[in-house]
Structure 1
Amino acid sequence: MKLSVELAVLRRRLAVALHLDEWKEVLAGNLQDEASDDREWVIVYRTANGYCCLYRGKPVEFDELPDVRSWSAEMDVRTYFMGL
């Protein structure tokens, strides 16, 4: 029983790390929506104290993930998360 739970956790972690949910959308035919989106990409990475990104040459720091999401909506940018 414990092994099946551990395998389920491992499968979910791999899915998150490899962004499998996004790939499912691409394979389902939503590729045109992604291709027509001309917003700027911002790479967000995890730090010891929260999150950080480099936007137009300046570092922007966040305490929590909801802060990142609201900022990206405000600035109209697309986020790519690394190291989560």
Structure 2
Amino acid sequence: MFILEDMEVSKIKMQGLCLLLLMPLLLLPGSAHNTCQWFSKTYTTFRCEDKPCAEHCRKEGFPTGWCDPVALEPPTLMCFCRKPC
């Protein structure tokens, strides 16, 4: 019985050790942190749609763009252009 209990404790310690070794990888900034975004200067509408928003962003020199909600009253969708920083 004593050996079995030691094995269970070893499994728990090994899982904890693996978690500690993986934690820095989980905390490293991903590609989303290296993305800059701005409001589109040319796509200003009350009804934002992703495809026209992306087209306007490409004309403004950005690789991508899409509509995201903005915390205004009432909440609204705005066209954001994005590119790597």
Larger Rg: 2
Check whether TM > 0.5: no
TM-score normalised by structure 2 residue count: 0.25
TM-score normalised by structure 1 residue count: 0.26
